[in-house]
Amino acid sequence: MKDSNHHEPLRNDRTGKRSVKTKGVTKRIKKYFWDNPNSNAPACCRELKLNYKKYRGMCYKWKSKTKAILAGKVQGRVHKVPSHRLEWRTEKPLGVGYVQSLLVEALRRTPGRDDPKPFDEWYVIPNRNRQLQFTNDFVSIRVFIRSGTCRILPRAPMDFESLKIHVQNAFFKAGLDLRKCEDLSGKLEPHDRHRMFRIGPVTPFKVDFYKNSLGLTLKADGSHPLHIEGIEGWPSWIKPLIKTNVDLATTVGELGTVVADFKVSLREHLQLVRTLSRESEQRNTATLNLINTLTKAVERLPGGPPGFKSRPRERRQKRVKRHRKKRRKRH
């Protein structure tokens, strides 16, 4: 009689679809060779803690498929391509005064198309639009004369405070005073960033369907013939959030101003009430004094007013009555 468990060890050693799917082995192996395309099967099994004899066939299979996928991409993997520099711009276009100062300084240097370009100085770009350019080891700044747009590209990784200092130095060399330079550098904000994906020769195109919703534009304009550029705009939720905070701060400020004005008005109203109360008390006192004075004056009048009997008259009448009684008794 055959043992029902005789083939169980062999069934456990095979990499059946159900067992592999349950353990997620395929997904782990695919991810490993996608992240490490130059690795091999023993290293994969050692890294993922898999039985080499059991899974080496699967490792070789997915290593071969991964090489084929990567071979279809021209030189390297798409998602590992580094991003382009982050572009910064001012909150609003530069004013006429700023542009004129930069133009006066830049007109001193107008190199031709084939001439070497000035370094660490402002100059006029030899193209049709004649933009103003400044380039040194830290930043590259371009100003458009007509619109006043200012585009700033850092030439090395740096934090925001360092970027502000280099921008201030650049505009200070154009003859602007330090206060204007600090004010201008304080209004910088991220504009967009270009990510390049190398896929081989591509026909120029532009897709801006997601620009308003996601701040994203896909294009190939010929500036990088073998790449697709993903232009990541300043995130769409940042500006509304900042505007909401500014409006809230403004509202709170206005509310604080209203409350302060109300306090002042209430204080003035209370002061007016106190003044009216004092004047009312003084008027009441004056009225009582006037009544007393008039009463005394009326008492001193001869005969007094109608229906008023003074005390001397009452005493005289009493004396007359007593005298009459005595005369009656005598008679």
Assess whether pLDDT exceeds 70 at residue 3. no
Query: Which residue carries 């100062």 as its tokens?
Result: 101
Average per-residue pLDDT for the chain: 77
18-22, 171-175, 324-328: which is most confident: 171-175
Give the per-residue pLDDT at 157. 80
Assess whether pLDDT exceeds 60 at residue 12. no
Assess whether pLDDT exceeds 70 at residue 236. no
Q: Is 210 helix (H, G, I), strand (E, B) or coil?
A: coil
Summarize the confidence of residues 165-190 as an average pLDDT: 88
Assess whether pLDDT exceeds 80 at residue 304. no
Give the per-residue pLDDT at 172. 92
Give the per-residue pLDDT at 211. 79
Give the per-residue pLDDT at 133. 93
For residue 77, with 0-12 CB atoms within 10 Å meaning exposed, 13-18 middle and 19 or more buried, which class applies? middle
Half-sphere exposure of 284 (CA within 13 A, CB side): 6
Give the per-residue pLDDT at 4. 41
Name the helix (H) or strand (E) containing 218: strand 216-220
Write out the two tokens for 286. Answer: 């004056």
pLDDT tens for residues 22-34?
Answer: 468 888 898 888 8
Assess whether pLDDT exceeds 50 at residue 221. yes
Q: Round to whole Å and give the CA distance between 109 and 117.
A: 9
Write out the two tokens for 37. Answer: 């395309």
Assess whether pLDDT exceeds 80 at residue 193. no
Assess whether pLDDT exceeds 70 at residue 113. yes
Triad 128, 134, 135: Cα angle to 5°: 115
If pLDDT is split at 50, 70 and 90, which confidence band does 136 have?
A: very high
Give the per-residue pLDDT at 227. 83
